[in-house]
Each structure stands twice: as C-alpha cells, then as structure tokens.
Structure 1
C-alpha cells in the first residue's frame, strides 16, 4: 500500500491517483457480445450450454425446485439461519420506510394531476457466486423487491449442481420461488431476452464481475433487452482517520474491503503520519490470519494512503473521489459527516464498520461505485417501482388552460397540438 503526500502532488498526479481502472476490456466486450447474441437467438439452450462450458454446470434441473428450497432450510446450520433472519428483519425495517408516497394536486380549477408509484411487474436479481456464496446480496435485492410488491421476482446465480443453501434460505424469506442456476453474461442475457419457455424480465438488479457488468451495459441499450439498476465496478472503501483513531480498527476496515478481490480498492486518508504507519503495521498483523490473504494482498498493491494537511482537505478529496463506502473514524465524526456530498454509504464513528452495512445494520450494500455516487444512490425500494402520472381535466379546466397550451404549441410550430384543444372547445 503506497503512501503519498497530497501537498506534493500536482493536479495531474491527483487525477491519475483518483482514476479507476476500465470496467471491462475490448476482449471482454467482444466475448460478451457473442454470448448475448447466442442466447438472444437460442434462449435457454444457449444459456445452458454456456453454463456447462464456463461454470461446469452439471445439474439435471436448471430451475431450483421446491424440494431444493426445503432441503436448503433443513440442512442449514441454525446459527446461520438465525443470522440471515436477523439481517432480513433489519433490512426490511429500514427499507420499509422507503415506500414512496403517491399524491394528487389540482393545479388549476378543474385540472387534477396525480403521481402514482406502481411496482415493476417482472424483475431479475443477479447474485454473484464466484469465490464465495453471497446470501447478503440476496437479501439486499430481495427485500426491496418484496416491499415494492413486484409480481414476479426471478433470481439467478451460477452453480455446478445446487445453489448454496444460505442463498436459497434468504431467497425464501424474500418470497422468491423462481430461481435459475445460471450465472455470468449468459444469465443476464436470459433474464433480458427470455425465450418461449422463460419470460423475460423488465429490469435487472445486482452486481457481478466484468463479464456481468458488460452484459448489463449492453442489454440496457438493446431494443429487445431491458433496463438495469446501475453499472457497478469493483468494490471500494475510503477511510478518513485522525490521530484519535484505533489503528487496528482502520486496518480491519481496509482489509474487509480488500479481501473482496484483487480489483477492490482500499484508501486511507489521514492528517497524521503516525496513524498511517501504525495502520500499515496492523495490516501486516491481520493479513497473516486471513483465508483470503492473496486477494487482499493483490488489492492492497493497487490501493494507497494519502497524507493530507488537514481533515477538511481529506473530506474535500473524498467528495471528489465519491467512494462507494466512506468510513469516518475521527474524534468529531458527526461534524465531518455533515460535510459529505458524494458517497454511496457513510459509516460514522469508530464503532461503525463497513461490514455492518454489508450484512445487518439495515442499509443496502448494493451501491454505486466508479464515482457514480456523484449522481446516484444505492438500491432502494423506489428502484423496484416506477412513477406514473395521471391527469383528468374538465371542460372548464381545459378552458382555463387553453390559451397557455395554444400559445406554446404555436410557438413551437406544432399546430396539431393546438388543434387538439380547439376542437374540444368549439
């Protein structure tokens, strides 16, 4: 983990330091384009062929059966079920407050305008399954879909034979009964295009590797595809720490992100050089006992520590970088939190680890990466709904609006628009 001093860096160097890697290469894009084209033409058959070729799929059944759902619940350790249920309840409690309110207003006498929130009818949830099972992601996507009231929710995750029981138990809590054992770009293609035996979805949610990311990007602009939640890159955390921070806490937070994978990014910002040194010592200590040590080490080689002149300078850099996760571990964390403008999710105080948000505090862990936190937030109940506007106008109401409508229509040289009002008032 390299260390830099912000005061010694030029604007060009700061920009280079803040730059993320490309989300996917040209070779990845070409491979994904071929997969999408094949699945679009041949549907479930092609998706299954790619699952066998790329993921070693061997199961006789592509859909998770009721027996498999029941078996998963029976074989799962009680302590794991208890943890999943606890997380589910907290996530549900937090997200339930997000249900948007419909409203109606009379803008002019006789002119009634409404905005109603309606659930998206068919949604697909992608649950990655590369190096570890992710029941937490199943909850983060399944709970808001459940609260929104989506009529059909389909989950997809890669498997050789069976989906991990923890994921199936989480899915069942979210009311999901349709689950396909296919992952990667082929799963995104099947969800987006469907076939005669599998109805396509209207929107796809969920993170994934560069192949999944490229597939989501491409199907979102395909006329036969569907919409997506967001484009997500590798996971990232930025920790702001001062001299009062516990170095072991900071090191643990940086490592918890680094162990996700070699492309994950862990950044430390501090105005205290001694903290920087102490954190590096703690990282070496804690690394020794990590089962995913190789992933963490690779990630840390791409990560960095930035020494700033002040904590205010650190928050300024953070806002510019717009991290997926921002941890504020300083003496007056609440005061600094008020200055946050751009971040996916913020963790305030020394006893608020990022892993709490990943699993059980209640907030969503499916968040914008790659700097997209400047313009969007994480997955929410609203994302599983669409706002539809309605209006009803009486004759008297149209009379009151007529001059405004006709004048603006004629200004834009759209005479048929003006005539649609005139014919009603003659």
Structure 2
C-alpha cells in the first residue's frame, strides 16, 4: 500500500501547477476590480450555486448560527479558542523596547499591529471552523482592530459561530479567488485589507500571489502533507492513523514515512491498507496515497537530512530518543514529538496554529503566528555624547559615497 520512494526526487505538494490557473484567476481578479460586489454575486451563483442578496453576515445571523450548532460543539470551540489564544499570547512582543547600547546611543524596536487583516476560511469538501479560529486569533492577539473573514457561501453555521467566538469583526459570504481579490482590492461592501492569510485551493493560492502588490500574504500553501521520522520502536498503527488523517484532507495530499526500519515500513503499509478500507473518506484517501510512500534512511541523521530536504508542513517524530532528532531538524512547519502527539491535536486544540507552509516552503516561511500581523520600526535616540562617538564614522563613510549633505547633517550638529 505504501510504495518505496526515492529520497532525491520525491517532492510533495507541487503537482498542481499555479501557472496553469494564473490566466483564469487573473480574469476573476479583473472582474472583481471592475464590478465589485456584482462580481461576487455572480461567482456565488456560478461556483457555489447560491443566490445572494447580501455579502455581509449580520449580527442576528451570527446569533442564529449558534442555534444551528450542537451546544457541545460550541462548548468545544470556545475551549479550543481559549487554548489557542493562550499559546499565541506568548508570541506577543513588547510594544516598545529601548536599550542604551553605548554611551549616548539608545536603540530599540517599536512593534505595531496592522490596522486591517483578511482571513480566508475554506469551504468545499468540508467546513473548517478550526481554521476560522486559527486565522482570526493571532490577528486579534496581535492587536489588529479590523478583521475581515471570507468563507464560501452559504456560510456554514459552525464556521460563522467559530468566527464570532474568535473575534472576527466582519464575516463575508465569498469564496475562492474572488474572495481574495475582494479583500485585496476592496468592493462596495468590503474595505481593502493590508494582509491576507489562510489556506485554500490552487486558485486561492494563485490569487494571493498575484495580488501581493495590493495586500501582503502569509505564505503560499497547497495540499496538506506529513512527514514521519520513525525508528523500530514506533507503533505502526499510530503512524498509519497519522498518514490516513492527512490523506483524507485532499486527493493531492502527500504523506511520507522516513524510517530506519524496513520492517516498520512493511507493518505501517499493512495497517494503512487495512484501515483505509473502512475510512469514511476512503475515495479521497486512496487518491492521496498514490502521492505517498516511505523512504528508507541509513540512520536518524540521514532521516533528518531527508526530512529537511522535504521541508514538510507537518513533521511527526516517533523514535525512542526524540529530543536529539528535534534539535537537529531545521525545516518543518509544525513538529509533533512522541507517540501520543497526533497531528490532529495541533489541528484543533493543543494551542499551536495549523495554518502552515506546504510544498517545501517551510524551508523559508514560518507557520501563521502573531508576528504575521505586526510590523516593526527601529528606534534610535542619540545624544550629543553618542553623536561624538560615531560622528567621524558617519561623516567619512557618507563622503566616501559622495553624499556630502549626509555628512553635513552630522557636522552641523557637532560644531
């Protein structure tokens, strides 16, 4: 069931080419730019089969959404939001710090939240109230005052309730590339945002990339993926369950086991085959497993090297002595250590964020966090004593570059 893969050629998440959809996405962007709300109504009818008379979810509709959701689910959403908020609070930086690094020279950093952010909450194959919380909470914790959340119509009640719990200031019935365009460019009903975050399909990702000149984005993201580093001590059933959990996301999801034990790979493969038969989303899982498999590693150092080349969205470490492996890892979106740490916990309630870079982007991007919604300004306070200390350096270097007015701006203060 799990085929052997080549460590040098297997790369997850790059099968769906963004270039293939850029023309269609660009047409959508131009339509939204030209026609605003009317374009969103048009696409809701075309893609979502919804006749809308309003894009914005009202306060009454927010309240009504709770009535449509199992009270126990609401309770769990509130608890999950609390845990996610708690973890993200630890990511906050000081609003302003100043340090006197040399006599008369005080330097620092001023951290300021963005004014307005946009969160994309997918729909389609499933509803994702967890993503609603994961995208909105770090923005709210950062101090963003205006948070616009877009989700495909007709806007699932669980998603609306989750967005309300998380603190979204407005909820918009719009999905796909058109929602990204509306948040980036603005329409009659939607003010433009400064940054757009959240996962989506290849069309959503393409729109985010094409509109970066209008609104910054978190990172490109594609189908879900997991890499599992395991040795002979690992429980094959646990690994098989983790593989199926990622495979059920999307037919293009990718799962790879990197192991020092061929016998473990055989056991995991047998368990995957058995468990997949009875899985509710078996059709999706079966397709995803064609993108998946195992890679043999000579030792754990080799396993880490293979994993770092993959730079997976999710990395599970299931070995007898995991901390040295954890310390050695350089590239991973989110890391899950030990046999009792399934990725699903990070998806919902441990507190970490599940909006993560895929397709190898974990080598250069961090998962969604509070810093994504902040910007920093450097601060300097230089007294006369400090100016004397560095004045000669500044004057000489400015003149060496031919910028004599720069030099004079220092000289005039030193006279």
Instruction: Tell me the TM-score normalised to structure 1 length.
Output: 0.92
Q: CA deviation at 1:395?
A: 4.5
- Which residue does 2:202 correspond to in 1? 210
Paired with 2:61 and 2:188, the residues of 1 have a C-alpha distance of 25
- Which residue does 1:384 correspond to in 2? 373
Q: Say whether the 8 Å CA contact 1:124–1:156 is kept in structure 2.
A: yes
- Which residue does 2:391 correspond to in 1? 402
Q: Name stretches of at least 5 consecutive residues in structure 1 with no aligned partner.
A: 6-12
Paired with 2:144 and 2:18, the residues of 1 have a C-alpha distance of 35
- Which residue does 1:8 correspond to in 2? none
Verify: 1:369 aligned to 2:369, yes or no.
no
- Which residue does 1:9 correspond to in 2? none
Q: Name stretches of at least 5 consecutive residues in structure 2 with no aligned partner.
A: none
- Which residue does 1:120 correspond to in 2? 114
Q: CA deviation at 1:407?
A: 1.1
Q: Say whether the 8 Å CA contact 2:184–2:211 is kept in structure 1.
A: yes
Equivalent residue for 2:289, pick from 286, 300, 310: 300
Q: Say whether the 8 Å CA contact 1:238–1:326 is kept in structure 2.
A: yes
Q: CA deviation at 1:416?
A: 2.5
Paired with 1:338 and 1:400, the residues of 2 have a C-alpha distance of 42
Shift in CA distance, 43/314, structure 1 to aligned 2, threshold 3 Å: same
Paired with 2:159 and 2:125, the residues of 1 have a C-alpha distance of 14
- Which residue does 1:32 correspond to in 2? 25
Q: Say whether the 8 Å CA contact 1:24–1:211 is kept in structure 2.
A: no
- Which residue does 2:248 correspond to in 1? 259
SS at match of 2:148: strand
Equivalent residue for 2:230, pick from 230, 233, 241: 241
SS at match of 2:8: helix
- Which residue does 1:70 correspond to in 2? 63
Equivalent residue for 1:136, pick from 98, 121, 130: 130
Verify: 1:42 aligned to 2:46, yes or no.
no
- Which residue does 2:160 correspond to in 1? 168
Verify: 1:182 aligned to 2:174, yes or no.
yes
Paired with 1:405 and 1:195, the residues of 2 have a C-alpha distance of 48
Paired with 1:53 and 1:262, the residues of 2 have a C-alpha distance of 23
SS at match of 1:17: coil
Q: CA deviation at 1:188?
A: 0.4
- Which residue does 2:302 correspond to in 1? 313
Q: Say whether the 8 Å CA contact 2:12–2:254 is kept in structure 1.
A: no
Verify: 1:87 aligned to 2:80, yes or no.
yes
Equivalent residue for 2:349, pick from 346, 360, 365: 360
The one-character-per-residue Cα deviations of 1:23-78 (angstroms, maximum 9, x if unpaired) are 53433110011111221222222232222222223232210111110011122101
Paired with 1:375 and 1:146, the residues of 2 have a C-alpha distance of 25
Q: CA deviation at 1:187?
A: 0.5
Q: Say whether the 8 Å CA contact 2:120–2:198 is kept in structure 1.
A: yes
Between 414-423 and 122-131, report the one with greater CA deviation.
414-423
> How many residue pairs get matched?
414
Equivalent residue for 1:158, pick from 136, 149, 152: 152
Q: What CA RMSD, in Å, does the superposition of the two structures yield over aligned residues?
A: 1.8
Paired with 1:96 and 1:105, the residues of 2 have a C-alpha distance of 24
Q: CA deviation at 1:20?
A: 4.4
Shift in CA distance, 203/416, structure 1 to aligned 2, threshold 3 Å: same
Q: CA deviation at 1:309?
A: 2.6
Paired with 1:193 and 1:110, the residues of 2 have a C-alpha distance of 46
Paired with 1:405 and 1:120, the residues of 2 have a C-alpha distance of 33
